[in-house]
Structure formats: C-alpha cells, structure tokens
Amino acid sequence: MEVSQIMSEPVTIDKDQRLSYALELLDKKRVDRLIVADDGAVRGILTYADIADRLGVSKVVAVSVVRLHISSAMTDTVITVSPKDDVTEVAQLMIERGMSGCPVVDEKDKLVGVISKKELSALVEKFEDVKVEDLMTKENLLVVNPVERLVKARLEMLDRGYSGLPVVDGSRVLGLLTERAVAEAMARFSTEVPDKYRRNQVRQIRVVDAMIQQPPMVGPDDSVSEAIKKMADANLNTLPVVAKGNKLVGIISTTDFTRFVANKFKIPEKGE
C-alpha cells in the first residue's frame, strides 16, 4: 500500500503567525501537527511537543504565548516522504527515527499531504482479532504522580520518548499526561500569571494542573480495534491499559500500532 492511499490533507500555517493562533488551529482541526509552508514548499513542522518545549525554556518563560512566533518554536529540519512510498517502510522510518509524522511531497518538493502515526494506526483498526495485550507496552513503564512538578514530568517524557504518561496513585490510574496537555497548561500559565512572577512560579506547576482527568482506558483483552476507536473519539495518541480497579498493566499507543505496521502486520514474538 502506498502513502497516497492513507495520507491526510495537511493543515498549514505561516512561520510569522503567533503560537497562540497555532494552538487554536491545532484544537480546531483536531490534529497534532501543523506544516509550516511557504507557497507550497515545506519550511518546518510545529507540534504540541515543539510548543511545550518552547514555552518551557527558562529564557522565554516570562514571555506570553501571544507574543511568540511560530518560527521560534517550529522544527525546521524536516524529513519528507513520497506519495509512492510503501506505508510499511514509512512506519519503519518513524520507529527508527523517533518521528510521529512527516509531510508528503511530490517530485517537485511541493506539499501534497501528511502522514502520521494516526493514519498508520487506522490501518490496524480492521484487526479485530488482535488483542491490546498483543501489542501494548508493558515493560519499564513510565508513570507520574499528580503532585509531581510538570517541568520534571515533561523532561522524563522527553528522555524516554513518550507522548503520553499515565498519572497514578500507587498503581491506580487517575489521569493521563500528554504533549497537548503540557503545551496547553504552559500556554495558560504564560497568559494568566503576570510577567514578573512567571520565572519563579513555573516550577510550581504540578501534573494535576495539566493532566486529563478520567481518560478513556482499555483492558488487555479488548481488541485493538476498540482501542483505536477510543483514541480517535478522544483525540489521543495513548491510552492506559488497566485491570480490575483501574490497576495499570500497560499502555497502548499509536507508536505500538505503527510498530505493528512496520512489522508488516505481524504480532511480535514473545520477548521481542
């Protein structure tokens, strides 16, 4: 299957627009990336992770999100793919490079689409006989406590390459921390707290101030099809996998689904 068969219409933005507008556009279009383009040519990508990173930098903490431009936060080194590329090869590229998506350009380097882990995950929805436990991540899980500092939790997400972390009390799931939740919390902080107090107070923001409370969850015996539908409905990339009493036993994410596509839709052998 070629990329052209599953790619989505790109949502574009100009590098001179404000970050506050970018957040509004991301929410309105229900996407997790904007393609920064100029006359059809790709100049960069802007994601929730980029926004969270920019707003968390100590030198700009005192600057409101409404005063920052997209050019100050976007990733300008962009890997693109062709509409004719095979989706399994693109999935492998994303896993190897730690990418969540990329622009699709034609032979003249003109932007024609975008492909992300969400589009790849949609290919997995038809596998109703595959269970969540077959693909979920269950080893070395990274979790956070609701009273942990948001800045620290964000650094842990970066270090481990996670886009979503379960928020727990012991082993019981209370919420979910995502890149989007971090970016939106930092944006609120930058507009609600007076300039002179931001630098000192940013480290006082707690995970509970940003987390998604009562997120959708799945069980290990649920089908991946059900998990993907829940993700799409809630516009999430990660779901906690829980047993009785909301006890965390793993996470399932678009990364796990992309790995399944990269493996040519084969369930990994035990121990892989």
Per residue, the 3-state secondary structure of the chain, as one string, reads CEHHHCCECCCEECCCCEHHHHHHHHHHHCCCEEEEEECCEEEEEEEHHHHHHHHHCHHHCCCCHHHCEHHHCCECCCCCECCCCEHHHHHHHHHHHCCCEEEEECCCCEEEEEEEHHHHHHCCCCCCCCEHHHHCECCCCCCECCCCEHHHHHHHHHHHCCCEEEEEECCEEEEEEEHHHHHHHHHHHHHHCCHHHHHHHHHHCEHHHCCEECCCCECCCCEHHHHHHHHHHHCCCEEEEEEHHHEEEEEEEHHHHHHHHHCCCCCCCCCC
Number of alpha carbons in the 13 Å side-chain half-sphere of residue 253: 19
Q: Are 34 and 12 in contact (CB under 8 A)?
A: yes
pLDDT, residue 196, reads 60
Q: Are 261 and 88 in contact (CB under 8 A)?
A: yes
Nearest to 46 by CA among 55, 203, 255, 6: 55
pLDDT, residue 197, reads 57
Q: Which two tokens stand for residue 260?
A: 């399944």
Per-residue pLDDT of the chain (272 residues; tens, 9 = 90+): 999 999 999 999 999 999 999 999 999 999 999 999 998 899 999 999 888 888 765 444 556 677 889 999 999 989 999 999 999 999 999 999 988 999 999 999 999 999 999 999 999 999 999 999 999 999 888 999 999 999 888 888 888 888 899 999 988 999 999 999 998 988 887 776 656 655 666 667 899 999 999 999 999 999 999 999 999 999 999 999 999 989 999 999 999 999 999 999 998 776 55
Q: Which two tokens stand for residue 124?
A: 């997995």
The size of the chain, in residues, is 272
pLDDT, residue 198, reads 57
Instruction: Measure CA 99 to chain center.
Output: 10
Q: Does domain 132-262 have CATH number 3.10.580.10?
A: yes
Class of domain 3-116: alpha beta
Domain with CATH 3.10.580.10 in the chain: 3-116, 132-262
pLDDT, residue 40, reads 87
pLDDT, residue 202, reads 66
Verdict on whether the full-model pTM lies above 0.85: yes
